Amino acid sequence: MSDSKPSYNIPIGPIHPALKEPILFTFKINGEVVEDLDFAPGKVHRGIEWMGMRRNPVQIAHLCDRICGICGVSHTLAFCRAVEQIAEIEVPERAHYVRTIVAELERIQSHLLWAGVAAHELGFDTLFHLAWRVREDAMDLLELITGNRVNYGIVQVGGVRRDITEDQFPKVEKTLAAYEDITKKLLKLFLEDTSIKVRCRDTGLMTRKQALELCTVGPTARASGLEMDVRLDAPYAAYGDLDFTMVLPDQYAGEIRGDVYDRIVVRLLEVVQSMSIIRQCIDNMPPGVVMWEQKYAKILATCKKAEGEAFGRVEAPRGECFHFVRMNKSESPEAWKVKASTYSNQMSWLTMLKNEQIADIPIIVASIDPCMSCTDRVAVIGNGTSGILTKQDLHRLSVEKTRRIQGC
C-alpha cells in the first residue's frame, strides 16, 4: 500500500462479531495495514467489588464465581487464599488437592474454549466445532465433581464444599484417557495445518523484552519466552507437591518467536500438562476432611475477628489472577481489589497490532484470551469524575425521570 493514500478510522466494538465481550477499539488504517490504534475498556463494569464490600467473605466467594464465566475457580481461589491468610485459617490437605483438580479442569476447558474461538476468528469453523465438542467432556467432568457446568461454587473460605469421592475417580480417568487421544489430534490439526500456520506465524509479534516491560502474564508472557507461572513461582494449593515444568513454545516448535502461533502452542501444551497434573493429584490425594470447619457460623465469626491485609495470587488459565483483601474486624472486608490477567495483558495489544493487517486483528486480539468482564473494574462517569450512586440516589433519579416523562 502506498504512503500517499489517506488513512481512515475503523471502529471495532463495543459490539462486533470478532469480540466476545464489549470493548471499543479504534484503528487508524492505511489500506489494509493498522497504522495506529487505541482501545477503551470499561464497557461491562458491574460494580462487583462494590457489591463484595457489603457482604461477608462466605458470600463473596460465590460472588467471585460470577466475576468471570470461564475462570470462576481462579477468582474464588485467589480471594479465599487472601482471606485465609488474614484470618489464619488452615485449609485441610485434601481440600488443596480438590482445588488443584478443579482449577486444572477449568484450565482445560478454558484453553479448549479459546482454541475454538481462535479457529473461528481465523474463519476455520470446522476446527471451532471440533474444539468446542471436545470441551464438553471437561464440562461434564466439572459437572460431575462440582454439580455445575459454570459458576462451580465449590471453593469456599477454609476448603472446598464438596469432596471428590473414590467412585468418581474411574470417570475422571476415563475422560482423561479420552483426552489423551483427542489432544494429540488437536495438536496436529492446529499446529500442522497450512492455513493456520500461514495466518498465525509471525503475526502479532511480541518479543521477550516487550513482554517483560508490558508486565504481561500467563500464556501470553510464556509464548514470548518469559518464564512466569504463579503455580511454579509461588506455589499454592497442591502445586508445591506436584512435578511439572513451565510450558514454553520451544518445547514444540524448537524456537520462541512470540507470535500468535506460539500462543496456540503454549495453550494446547498446557491442556496436555493439566491432564498430567490431575493424574498426579488423584494418585497422591491424602485422606481427610475437605473443610477447615463445617459450620459456616464459625468461619464467619473467625473472619469477623480477623484484621490485616493480604493478597491471593492464582495462575488462572489466562494468567495471574490477583486479589487484594483488607479486613478490619467487621463482617465485610474493608477493601477488595481484583486484578484479572487481562488487565495485565491488554496493553500488549498496542504493541502486537501495530503494522498488522486488518485480517489479523481478530486473531491477535483473541490471542491474549481477553476477558473483559474480569477486567473492567472502574467506572468513570462524566469528565474524569467518578462516583458511586446509592440506592437513595437511584430512587431520586428514577422519580425525577418519571416526572420528566409525565411532563409535570
Question: In this complex, which beta carbon is closest to another protein, that of residue 96 or of residue 120?
Answer: 120
Question: In this complex, which beta carbon is closest to another protein, that of residue 134 or of residue 374?
Answer: 134
Q: How many angstroms separate the CA atoms of 246 and 266, rounded?
A: 10
Q: Which residues contact 317 (CB under 8 A, 6 or more apart)?
A: 70, 71, 74, 106, 107, 110, 111, 114, 218, 219, 369
What is the DSSP code (8-state) at residue 258?
-
Question: In this complex, which beta carbon is closest to another protein, that of residue 103 or of residue 134?
Answer: 134
* Interaction between residue 359 and another protein (CB under 8 A): yes
Number of chain residues interacting with another protein (CB under 8 A)? 32
Q: Scanning the structure block, which residue is given the C-alpha cell 467473605?
A: 57
Question: In this complex, which beta carbon is closest to another protein, that of residue 65 or of residue 360?
Answer: 360
Member of 35, 36, 93, 193 binding another protein (CB under 8 A): 193
Q: Which stretch binds another protein (CB under 8 A): 304-312, 329-337, 353-361, 399-407?
A: 353-361
Q: Which stretch binds another protein (CB under 8 A): 58-66, 190-198, 230-238, 381-389?
A: 190-198
Member of 21, 121, 262, 369 binding another protein (CB under 8 A): 121
Please state the separation of Cα 197 from the chain's center in Å. 26
* Interaction between residue 201 and another protein (CB under 8 A): no
Neighbours of 388 (CB within 10 A): 9
Q: Which residues contact 22 (CB under 8 A, 6 or more apart)?
A: 13, 14, 15, 43, 44, 372
Question: In this complex, which beta carbon is closest to another protein, that of residue 155 or of residue 189?
Answer: 189
* 376 and 41 Cβ atoms separated by less than 8 Å: yes
Member of 38, 125, 233, 393 binding another protein (CB under 8 A): 125
Q: Which residues contact 113 (CB under 8 A, 6 or more apart)?
A: 70, 131, 132, 135
* Interaction between residue 32 and another protein (CB under 8 A): yes
| Residue 211 cell numbers, joined | 513482554
Member of 112, 131, 196, 223 binding another protein (CB under 8 A): 196
* Interaction between residue 358 and another protein (CB under 8 A): yes
Member of 96, 120, 231, 313 binding another protein (CB under 8 A): 120
Minimum distance from CB of 189 to another protein (Å)?
10
* Interaction between residue 130 and another protein (CB under 8 A): yes
* 229 and 239 Cβ atoms separated by less than 8 Å: no
Distance from the first to the final alpha carbon of the chain: 60
Q: Which stretch binds another protein (CB under 8 A): 10-18, 70-78, 300-308, 341-349?
A: 10-18
Question: In this complex, which beta carbon is closest to another protein, that of residue 125 or of residue 393?
Answer: 125
Minimum distance from CB of 395 to another protein (Å)?
38
Member of 29, 157, 237, 372 binding another protein (CB under 8 A): 29
* Interaction between residue 10 and another protein (CB under 8 A): yes
With both helix axes pointing from N to C terminus, report the angle between 260-283 and 169-191 in degrees, rounded to the nearest 10.
160
What percentage of the chain's residues is helix, strand, coil (to nearest 5)? 50, 10, 35
Member of 101, 157, 361, 368 binding another protein (CB under 8 A): 361
Question: In this complex, which beta carbon is closest to another protein, that of residue 11 or of residue 288?
Answer: 11
- Characterize 5-24 residue by residue with b for buried, 16 or more Cβ atoms within 10 angstroms of its Cβ, and e for exposed: eeeeeeebbbebeebbbbbb
Question: In this complex, which beta carbon is closest to another protein, that of residue 205 or of residue 314?
Answer: 205
| Residue 366 cell numbers, joined | 483473541
Q: Which residues contact 49 (CB under 8 A, 6 or more apart)?
A: 336, 337, 338, 377
Minimum distance from CB of 316 to another protein (Å)?
25
| Residue 163 cell numbers, joined | 469432596
* Interaction between residue 119 and another protein (CB under 8 A): yes
Query: Which residue ranges make up the site for another protein (CB under 8 A)?
Result: 8-11, 16-18, 29, 32, 119-127, 129-130, 133, 193, 195-196, 198-199, 357-362
